[in-house]
Amino acid sequence: MKPADSQRNNQHPIILVHGLGGFDKLYTLHYWGGIHNVVNDLGKRGYEAHAADIGTFSSNWDRACELYAQIKGGRVDYGKAHAEEHGHARYGRTYPGFVPDWGEDRKIHLISHSMGGQTVRVLIQLLENGDEQERANTPKEELSPLFDQQRKSWVKGTVTISTPHDGSPFVYDVSGKAPYIQQIVGAFAAALGNRPLVDYDFKLDQWDLKRERGESFPGYMKRVRNSGIWEKSKDTAEWDLRPEGALELNRWVEAQPDVYYFSVGSEQTYRSPLTGHELPEPFMNPAMYYSAIYIGKYTRHTDEVVIGRKWWKNDGLVSTYTMNGPKLGSSDEIIPYDGNPRIGKWNDLGTMKSHDHLDIIGLGVRDQRGLYRDLATLLGSLPE
């Protein structure tokens, strides 16, 4: 994954963006690195790095707005038109900003995992094109800079890791509920040695789903999981992670000509010699066995989405086929990385073998700091 020339050509900060159910730090566990801290490790090697902490089960639009505020600083503005259309609060939490001087003279790189890859694509799309509906329905003095027509080429390079660019078939099994909540929370608990996640924050303030004083975590999780928003609204992760939702997103979110896109895949299943279906390898996180088996044999044929054998190999939560870049409804070009990155195209860095969906970020038995050092080297080698 290293570039042909590993010379450091830029000093842009790196922002790490978690996926579905993610966090920055939970007790002693870092999302990026597990018992190892990838952010600190990169810092020791001369890279300015920050870990975002955005909505765990929110839509990619809402997460992109939160990510913008966390990087630039200020109060989250989900957009007047968007908030009114979906029936949630327009404003969210306020942040000091990782890179307050972020702009044309101070670009950033983005490294993302799982749904985080969809989120950063939405953020880049909005930065460079804004949003016509928000401009048409918001007084000019109230309009967030994220939605205006001023092109912001503020991202130099982005890496998506194990991202369901075309959605995940497993969402069909959890339709109408917070997607994967049992698998995700169970997997994090397993990584903590089955310690109860009593301080876990779903960050769904815009939906008025804050944890109430004295509310137990199991009760809080049940209330979130059973909330009507999963059935009534498309402004959720449940929709965005469905192949149909990913198709809808891919139709308006395009690779931008001035950004370097890279993708990394993962897999930890093997083909059964009896059925031809994909089954979990022995060292996969047990919390993902059920979803791995489900994805490993799922088929679907509609006018817009056809899911068959090529979708079966997976990492426990996501089909490996979907990880190298968007294909459903997308005209983005995906090419194998040959040591010379191509701007405006998806440079496919390949697939990490025998890595489940959390193992690749260090929430497993492997120390993954080397992987992220390589990715930082690659991003740092991009031209200024």
Catalytic residues: 114, 315, 357
* Contact yes or no for 145/129 (Cβ under 8 A): no
Q: Give Cα 192 to chain centroid, integer Å.
A: 22
| Dist CA 117 CA 106 (whole Å) | 22
E-strand spans in the chain?
14-17, 25-26, 29-30, 49-51, 74-77, 91-95, 108-113, 155-161, 260-266, 269-271, 278-280, 300-301, 306-307, 334-336, 346-352
Give the three-class secondary structure for 17: strand
| Dist CA 38 CA 57 (whole Å) | 23
| Dist CA 21 CA 13 (whole Å) | 24
Which amino acid belongs to residue 334?
A: I
Q: How many other β-carbons are positioned within 10 Å of the β-carbon of residue 198?
A: 10
Phi, psi dihedrals of residue 75, rounded to the nearest 5°: -90, 140
**CA dihedral in degrees (229, 231, 236, 240; nearest 10)?**
180
Q: Which residues contact 194 (CB under 8 A, 6 or more apart)?
A: none
Closest CA relative to residue 322, chosen from 267, 270, 373, 363: 267
Query: Angle of helix 243-252 relative to helix 115-129, nearest 10 degrees?
Result: 20
Q: How many other β-carbons are positioned within 10 Å of the β-carbon of residue 336?
A: 10
Burial annotation 47-80 (CB, 10 A radius, 16+ → b, else e): bbbbbbbbbbbbbbbbbbbbbbbbbbbbebbbbb
Radius of gyration of the chain (CA): 20
* Contact yes or no for 295/170 (Cβ under 8 A): yes
